Amino acid sequence: MQTVAVIDYGVSNLRSVERALTHVAGTGASVRLAASPEDLRGADRIVFPGQGAIGDCMRHMRERGLDQALLEAVRERPFLGLCLGLQSLLDFSEEDGGTPGFGLFPGKVVRFPAGMKDPATGLALKVPHMGWNQVWPTRAHPLWEGIEPGSRFYFVHSYYVVPERQEEVAATCSYGLEFACALARDNLFAVQFHPEKSQRDGLRLLANFLAWEP
């Protein structure tokens, strides 16, 4: 039986992610929280969830020794980043006065600009971007299997990723501007939205991750 580690760095939406993964895994996988480097090194698949501020995230990862264990794990094991688990994979984020990330995807994380308006209605758009929005895959990928283009997923974020390599963009979303909401390369896949809160299509994406053999 394969093991799936959900990274526990002390501040996150861990339980909802753990429950969603356990639901779709059935008897085919053991899902567990990973709070130590040893927990990560012993897992077959890694899920990095997150919400809140990136400065706290990176500090807690370093304090628990999870930063280096994560970098080791992503070399060869299937890896899924969720929300802050996507943003932390880039080189740098503007949040918290400027925060270095893991540098696994070249690029930066920036805040939505002030004064954005809905192009259809002209109404002001609030930050954070919160609620359901359509996701448009830019290329085929096993994690999109069974998910229609334009399906709606649940978002909560004030910052978005700006990758340097467009070939690593796996999906886009529009909120005042078009932004990358999924990045993928080799055994890495990461999304800005919350699959664990996105009902049927979110559960399908998680199930696809458990079946993925990159």
Q: Where are the domains of the chain?
A: 2-211
Residue range 40-60: mean pLDDT, rounded = 92
Percent over 70 (pLDDT), the chain:
99
Catalytic residue among 18, 95, 173, 194: 194
Catalytic residue list contains 196:
yes
Residue range 153-177: mean pLDDT, rounded = 97
Question: Residue 5 pLDDT more than 70?
Answer: yes
- Token pair for 54: 């990136």
Beta strands, E only, 96-202: 99-100, 105-111, 129-137, 151-157, 159-163, 169-174, 178-185, 188-191
> What confidence tens digit (pLDDT) does each residue in 103-159 have?
999 999 999 999 999 888 888 999 999 999 999 999 999 999 999 999 999 999 999
Give the per-residue pLDDT at 32.
94
Rounded CA separation 33/157 (Å): 24
pTM score? 0.96
Catalytic residue among 57, 83, 173, 181: 83
- Token pair for 116: 């954005």
Question: Residue 51 pLDDT more than 90?
Answer: no
> What confidence tens digit (pLDDT) does each residue in 58-103 have?
999 999 999 999 999 999 999 999 999 999 999 999 999 999 999 9
Catalytic residue list contains 129:
no
Q: Which option is the CATH number for 2-211: 3.40.50.280, 2.40.50.140, 3.40.50.880, 3.40.50.1970? A: 3.40.50.880
CB 51 within 8 Å of CB 83:
yes
Give the per-residue pLDDT at 12.
64
Give the per-residue pLDDT at 122.
86
Catalytic residue among 18, 95, 168, 196: 196
Give the per-residue pLDDT at 48.
96
Question: Residue 13 pLDDT more than 80?
Answer: no
